[in-house]
Amino acid sequence: MGLFDFLRSPDINQGLKDYSAVPGAVLLDVRTPQEYREGHVPKSRNVPLQSLEQAAGVISDKSTPVFVYCYSGSRSSQAVSRLIKMGYQNVKNIGGIASYSGKVEM
């Protein structure tokens, strides 16, 4: 790891490869419901950042691996911090859908 690696934004495409390799992992989209309807990564679940407390209804086991994305990576970074404070143990920010190179679902 280089001196400035912490400045790099997470790569959603690599993050999705990592997600696919983890059985039982959850892919969480923390954008608004409107943004989610306009296009989302297949197999993702929408729990908006402002309603993150509802994550327990989607992910009851706090040891479940959770991969989080938003539009740019900013809200997903906030969501990761909040999920950790809520007791989730294996949470990763994978960045923003703006950099996603795959197909989206509507």
Query: Mind telling me the catalytic residues?
Result: 70
Sign, CA torsion 8/84/28/15 = positive
Residue 66, token pair as written in the block: 């959770």
Q: Minimal CA–CA distance to 29: which of 39, 20, 14, 17?
A: 39
The amino acid that residue 9 corresponds to is: S
Alpha-carbon distance 25 to 67, whole Å? Answer: 7
Distance of CA 63 to the CA centre of its chain: 15
